[in-house]
Chain A
């Protein structure tokens, strides 16, 4: 957590040093992408569903305040307490307040990217409250004091031997036993006791339904439900964009979410919470943390349609070859790269450049966020705001001047194709990163323009 923020490309080059592991990471995530393709192709209405999902989210964002109020009213009627947090700190303080009131010291938490964004675990730990992340992948990275590297597959950067070593150290499993069933069952044993002995449960929210005041949580492991049902306090945390208008809209989103995420037709559990069980307190914390600001950015508001399926991670050729930690943000991948600059431009100025703009992210997005266009748009803003540095700006200025002038262009072109030397990839200098693993084409004797002038002008 207190690591220095590494520039994406530097971190990526470190990631790629372990060639075998990088290959594994790439191939495994590509396999998940392939499963997603297969699931999508089984539904002839796939593209129509994406359109619907996108339109529902568009509409919701255009009346977000009204839907949130409707949701709050219904949730209150259902006996659920609704809290509002303007930023991460307030979110953490609210949750701490609830836990403190009940003297809750041990908390089980299912996956919630929002609590990662707000760094809730650290806040609570500093206030002597223990939080156990109960999603298996999150539990593994928590034991290792790492961050999730993927929002759906948190431990995808790790191999079985890593998990085996971690469990041996922390759970006293057999040394060297890296059988996935053995390891999963070992965690199961420990975590099931944690569910039972905890004082409170925290979950995320996948969808919040305005018309009923309820919320839906999706897991495969059953960890959200075990936590929420075994405890007297259930706190659900949601970014305000999780709202959808009606129950019937869940049909559209639940059909898309898991097929996009892992290629499964649906998660094992899609749990619909409306009222606390007898003797239980249920709280919902609705969080802004910069989202309203993003809503007001015309070019970026669409990023708030995200349902956190991570399909854009799995398809991204850069993510697959750089790993989640290289994005130094709670949400990595292409979507993280358009969300992060909204939170902190300086810290995240490198992320919109961690892309070739190939557009695959946009194509897999179940809610049709124009991710690659937003990456392009962020680049413009970041450079305008001066986050590119003066050297880059100066070299671009030279390039723009040469390329805008046919006279300079043709003159500089004559000298050994010198014009091309201003292109960033072809700077004639062995320090140019291009040359590390690539050759440049041999400059031809004449350019096409020169050829054309000779051959054709007088024909």
Chain B
């Protein structure tokens, strides 16, 4: 008998009596989603800017580029989109990228997390290996909590998807919080009010 069969047989033999799967609730709350999201994200080390439209985002990007920083631009609504040219780039080439701008799909007010799909990043490494990450979300895409988020997303729509909540961080040295561990040193979120 293979290990697979052995394990399954032994689980079947030992498993407890059937108990029912509970019905889920969404624990929805009537709050200002945008301000809750901003408050939470700021609390976990992220930065947040509310903008009326994409123009302000564009201006910010131009500033970065003017400083001579390398930028990957992954928001199709904005000019200068170049994400597709990095879709097969090797880690060693991406390691030097300074700023990456991508679209977020759903943002979660209770924890500041943003769902990013593989189709938003094309190359899974990009939002992790860059030094600074910028995510653009539409105000209408902010939901109250994780239950609401999972109602809206399909986790296996792409081969990969990730909730990103703030910049990478660690407190592994004496519990002292350090923003910027192995992944991005900063996360900036633009909330675009107009869709």
Contact = CB atoms under 8 A, between A and B. Distances in A.
A and B touch in the complex (CB under 8 A): yes
A264 interface: yes
B84 to A, nearest CB: 14
B175 A84 contact: no
Interface in A44-63: 45, 48-49, 51-52, 55-56, 58-59, 61-63
B150 A251 contact: yes
A441 B123 CA distance: 71
Given A183-B173, A221-B168, A295 B11 contact: yes
A65 B8 contact: yes
B35 interface: no
Given A196-B91, A295-B15, A180 B178 contact: yes
A30 B6 CA distance: 43
Contacts of B19: 55, 58-59, 62
A262 B111 CA distance: 13
A276 B118 CA distance: 11
A200 interface: no
A272 B2 contact: no
Chain A contact residues: helix, strand, loop or mixed: helix
A40 to B, nearest CB: 13
Contacts of B161: 271-272, 274
Interface in A115-138: 134-137
Contact of A184 (B15, B164, B178): B178
Contacts of B3: 84-86, 90, 288
Interface in B1-56: 2-4, 6-8, 10-22, 24-25, 27, 40, 44
Q: How big is chain B's contact interface, by range?
A: 35 or more
B119 to A, nearest CB: 13
A277 interface: yes
Q: How big is chain A's contact interface, by range?
A: 35 or more
Which of A84, A163, A268 has the largest count of B CB atoms less than 10 A from its CB?
A268
B15 to A, nearest CB: 6
A225 B170 contact: no
A195 B8 contact: no
Interface string A210-232: 00111000001111011011100
Contacts of B164: 268-269
Contacts of A160: 173-174, 176
Contacts of A159: 174
Interface stretch (A1-9, A168-176, A185-193): A185-193
Chain B contact residues: helix, strand, loop or mixed: loop
B5 to A, nearest CB: 9
B182 A222 contact: yes
A251 B151 CA distance: 9
Contacts of B154: 247
B112 interface: yes
A380 interface: no
A389 interface: no
17 contacts: A45-B27, A52-B25, A63-B18, A65-B15, A78-B156, A86-B6, A188-B182, A191-B182, A222-B184, A247-B156, A255-B146, A265-B112, A266-B146, A269-B183, A270-B162, A275-B158, A292-B14
Interface of A: 28, 31-32, 43, 45, 48-49, 51-52, 55-56, 58-59, 61-65, 68-69, 78, 84-86, 90, 134-137, 140, 153-156, 158-160, 163, 180-181, 183-185, 188, 191-192, 195-196, 209, 212-214, 220-223, 225-226, 228-230, 240, 245, 247-252, 254-255, 262, 264-278, 286, 288, 292-293, 295-296, 298, 301
- Nearest 9 CB-CB pairings of A with B: A222-B183, A296-B14, A275-B159, A265-B111, A137-B172, A221-B181, A84-B4, A292-B10, A266-B111
Given A268-B166, A301-B16, 9 more contacts: A56-B22, A62-B17, A62-B18, A160-B176, A163-B173, A184-B172, A222-B128, A226-B129, A270-B163
